[in-house]
Structure 1
């Protein structure tokens, strides 16, 4: 089974009021209400894009009719398909995850593996200097990781390295579903010497968990729009419990261009006819 990697450039999506109302009809009521609570329109738009990507995945790859899709969240916030009647071979064993920040919403999905994804845009700290920002974040990285970050060069290059490490850690804790309960210093990343570039995927970065190298986990890295770092964590499902209790795949990075048109209404949830996927190669 081929894995799924989608990215939606939210910054280029400027929906009209009617298009936004159509998008809102395409998601579950509780998700619509949650999205409506965002203070900034940009964040609401990114969250909406993420939910639409998830529903398109479940419909297209898992064979669940759009109006029958029921997505719920684990206690730690990870989305999962809650349709007990959906037991076709196409729908069994999928793990999927989304992230949105900066100009992009991203999705990663695998059948038979646990998956987590994160995206972050490199930006200067809003209210503090780079050294002060790093001081505040000291406990998030190991001494080794900080040495790599601080050797990167200019302050901007150090921030770029910081966010590269950050999305790797976030992708891992999202894959295992622990959220903030996980001590980030337990996972130490040793970066691939291969440069990260837009349109290419690097898989040579490794992770040391509790000071031992984890060979069963794979990490994919790429860049979107030059300054957005993306990391995908892939690991066997049976390892998740042991990680929490303490002690390959064809990749297609896509850009989703959404042109909302009139949808087909089915009950309270409409199926859009508006999502087109283009390979970023």
Structure 2
């Protein structure tokens, strides 16, 4: 579900992806890229101990600033991105064209991604289907039983081989993460309250505490043999309070929101890190 040629995105709705394994910076090149960001972002990146984690964190922040510039036309040096207490990134700049513009990022394994929406809440999650070390697939999945409903657990254990069970678990986990990230709640929401149902992983629906969440839509993508991504789109009324305060209170017609929810998903646009760095340098000189 990746397109290396077309740059999908319009009307505040964008889907970007970076394969971070293709970027192998020297220490000086890494530092030069980090220096393009505001001090608070550089400090956040430096907190990561592992080199791979620092690289993903850096690319995630470069993606955020670049996407906002493309989507809203705000000069890079004027963009103000902050986080709620729960860690949800949001744009502090107000925008008259897309007053409810919001975005979400995710990174795991080889990929870093970002998705944005002009009206709906949007959540993105990327997972790497890695085989557990020192335990079987079933033992690994057993660690997460408190986050799964009985229906989801039965679907996982009946999926087939250990590899198939693992992939099935990650599909459910990816969707749950995308939803809680879209609302701004994070894992504190209570994953066991969410139950996903589907038809061969299409027509995906969600029940929260047993009630259908009719104002939400979900998509699941296979990025490659080891990576999955999910997109969650929903009604702004479901944002938690701390995140809702960051959104404009401009009234949006229900018909308009419904139309936005039903827009089908397309492929992610694949970017190279060097493109972002070059863009930053050009913007800084102009």
Q: 1:166 to 1:53 in 2, by over 3 A?
A: same
Query: In structure 1, what is the Cα distance between the partners aligned to 2:63 and 2:52?
Result: 17
The equivalent of 2:248 in structure 1 is: none
Task: Pick from 140, 152, 155 the counterpart of residue 147 of structure 2.
Answer: 140
The equivalent of 1:36 in structure 2 is: 46
Report SS of the residue matched to 1:234: strand
The equivalent of 1:127 in structure 2 is: 134
| Matched-pair contact (CA < 8 Å) for 1:2–1:249 | no
The equivalent of 2:216 in structure 1 is: 217
The equivalent of 1:279 in structure 2 is: none
CA apart distance, 1:37: 1.7
CA apart distance, 1:191: 2.4
5 Å-filtered alignment, 1:13-24, equals: 13-24=23-34
5 Å-filtered alignment, 1:1-281, equals: 1=11, 3-83=13-93, 86-90=94-98, 92-194=99-201, 204-241=203-240, 248-249=262-263, 251-259=266-274, 271=284
The equivalent of 2:253 in structure 1 is: none
| Matched-pair contact (CA < 8 Å) for 1:216–1:235 | yes
What's the CA shift string for 1:172-191, capped at 9, x where partnerless? 00111112321111110012
Query: In structure 2, what is the Cα distance between the partners aligned to 1:105 and 1:263?
Result: 18
What's the CA shift string for 1:42-77, capped at 9, x where partnerless? 111111111111101111101110011111000100
| Matched-pair contact (CA < 8 Å) for 1:96–1:108 | yes
What's the CA shift string for 1:82-128, capped at 9, x where partnerless? 23xx43315x2111000100100111110011111111100111232
| Matched-pair contact (CA < 8 Å) for 1:99–1:119 | yes
Query: In structure 2, what is the Cα distance between the partners aligned to 1:9 and 1:217?
Result: 29
Which structure 1 residue ranges, 5 or more long, are not aligned? 195-201, 274-281
| Matched-pair contact (CA < 8 Å) for 1:3–1:249 | no
Which structure 2 residue ranges, 5 or more long, are not aligned? 1-10, 244-261
Say which structure, 1 or 2, has more relative contact order (CA 8 Å, 6+ apart): 2
Q: Could you tell me the TM-score, scaled by structure 2's length?
A: 0.82
Q: 1:205 to 1:228 in 2, by over 3 A?
A: same
| Matched-pair contact (CA < 8 Å) for 2:20–2:273 | no
Report SS of the residue matched to 2:272: strand
Report SS of the residue matched to 1:259: helix
| Matched-pair contact (CA < 8 Å) for 1:5–1:107 | yes
**May I ask how many residue pairs the two structures share in their alignment?**
255
